[in-house]
Amino acid sequence: MSKLREVFKNHKAFIPFVTAGDPSAARTVASVVALAEAGADIVELGVPFSDPIADGPVIQAAGLRAFAGGITVNGVFDIVAEIRKQTQVPLVFLTYANLPFKYGYDAFCRRCAALGVAGLVIPDLPAEEAGEILPFTKKHGLDLIPLVSPTSGSRLAKLVTDATGFIYIVSALGVTGQRAGFAQNLPDLIAALRQVTDAPLCVGFGVHTPEQARELAGLADGVIVGSAIVAQAAAAGDDAPAAIAAYTRDMVAAVRQAEVDA
């Protein structure tokens, strides 16, 4: 069983996101450690990229702050090395396809494995092209986490064929960012996925309140939150780790309540 799959054995998961290097390496390390101590089950770490097609304005701005601070792919790996001195919380990278391609698939996946990065989310990697990196994720024991959306339709089975960790369900069309509502067919999408995979299902894009987290955790196996945390961290400045930890405790409680309600 993959390291990520093990997280879901006993309970539903809360998965917060932070951008590596925003606004500095030290702040990122402190934030991830704070999230872990607040109860995050998995932390998604964004690897800044120049053309982040899935990211809304909040996360785009975080990437620009990280670039202004001098972040590089090797710098992200250095951040993970520092995180690992303080916590073993499961980590996944959200990266774009060009970064592991240019770094070298084998070298990138090897370094991920050595540092305890358990999986990769690659929003701009079509299922038809996943075969390029899949041999290397398998070789190094990483989960390649597919994304599915409300418009995936007949492609669902193909998209999740190689899912081993969890499946990232995009809750609505468009880029990341806080939303008041989600796709009307989300329950049907989750039900359809249950028919073609036994991998855990996690919902992200737009989730930002405990009420939303509780509702979505009632349908799925986990909830992913990005823009809300990135925005809070930016607003809190030096107090960011404490601020996002308090928020995470509320979101974790909401996800756990969904287990009670089930």
Q: Give me the pLDDT at residue 1, please.
A: 61
CA proximity to 18, closest of 218, 220, 215, 228: 228
Q: What is the mean pLDDT of residues 159-187?
A: 74
Is residue 227 assigned to a domain? Answer: yes
Residue 49 has pLDDT above 50, yes or no: yes
Catalytic residue among 22, 55, 143, 215: 55
Is residue 226 assigned to a domain? Answer: yes
Is residue 7 assigned to a domain? Answer: no
Q: What is the mean pLDDT of the chain?
A: 93
Task: Give exposure, 126-162, as e/b (b: 16+ Cβ within 10 Å).
Answer: ebeebeebeebbeebebbbbbbbbbebeeebeebbeb
Confidence of residue 178 (pLDDT cuts 50, 70, 90): very low
The per-residue pLDDT for range 79-103, each reduced to its tens digit, is: 999 999 999 999 999 999 999 999 9
Is residue 8 assigned to a domain? Answer: no
106 is catalytic: no
Is residue 151 assigned to a domain? Answer: yes
Q: Domain total for the chain?
A: 1
Catalytic residue among 22, 41, 44, 143: 44
Q: Give me the pLDDT at residue 180, please.
A: 47
Confidence of residue 23 (pLDDT cuts 50, 70, 90): very high
User: What is the distance between the alpha carbons of residues 140 and 118, in angstroms, rounded to a whole number?
Assistant: 10
Question: Residues 6 or more apart from 172 whose CB is under 8 A from it?
Answer: 150, 179, 181, 182, 183, 205, 206
Q: Give the CATH number for residue 112.
A: 3.20.20.70
Is residue 85 assigned to a domain? Answer: yes
Q: Are 143 and 8 in contact (CB under 8 A)?
A: no
CA proximity to 100, closest of 110, 90, 91: 110
Is residue 1 assigned to a domain? Answer: no
CA proximity to 139, closest of 93, 91, 98, 105: 105
162 is catalytic: no
Residue 162 structural domain: 13-261
**Cβ-based burial of 35 (10 A; exposed 0-12, middle 13-18, buried ≥19):** buried
User: What is the distance between the alpha carbons of residues 58 and 218, in angstroms, rounded to a whole number?
Assistant: 27
Is residue 2 assigned to a domain? Answer: no
User: What is the distance between the alpha carbons of residues 57 and 71, in angstroms, rounded to a whole number?
Assistant: 19
Q: Are 202 and 220 in contact (CB under 8 A)?
A: yes
Question: Residues 6 or more apart from 209 whose CB is under 8 A from it?
Answer: none
